[in-house]
Structure 1
Amino acid sequence: MFTTIALATAPLHPAWGWGPGFWIVPAIFWLLIIGLIITLVATRRRRWARAGWGGPWGPHGVGPWASAQAAHNAETVLAERFARGDIDEVEYRARLEVLRSQQPQPPQG
């Protein structure tokens, strides 16, 4: 790859009489690479947004892991209520079973 770039820029070398032009081809090459990276990042962000979550840039509490986090928070609150004595063991286990059965499954695919 570097050989190809070197050969492509050879006619622009100062020895050929093109002094400042030597930097034009590598500059264009790197600008194209940076543009490609920016395009790929923007495309990925749009795909994540269309999928219903913002990925690393999206709002908190949205995404495939949000339902698991919400269920964990509900189980924590339930465990705290049980520990304080607000509910007895039978009610705790019944509510825990309901919480775990209603947990949405992550999308397959």
Structure 2
Amino acid sequence: MTAATADVLTAYGPWRDGGFSPWFLLFPLFWILVIGLVIFIGRRTWRSNRRWAASQGGESVLRERYARGEIDENEYRKRLQVLRGDTKGDTK
């Protein structure tokens, strides 16, 4: 390798002639695809969880809220009566 060739390689780097190389586009494209895939999977999971919760019905949601302690036993029984259509004990 002559001194002139070494100067050319130093000046232009691996492209030698200083031309454009599309390889630098691969890194942003890779990350755009990764982020898009994460968003796509996250939205699908969120939607399927919402469909599952909607398909569970009122009584199971009420049972879950009672189990988590969000409502007390009296409120649970009152709401369960309303869901089942049993209004005999209601004093309105």
Q: Which TM-score band (shorter chain)? A: 0.3 to 0.5
From the CA coordinates, give the structure whose radius of gyration is larger. 2
TM value normalised by structure 1: 0.38
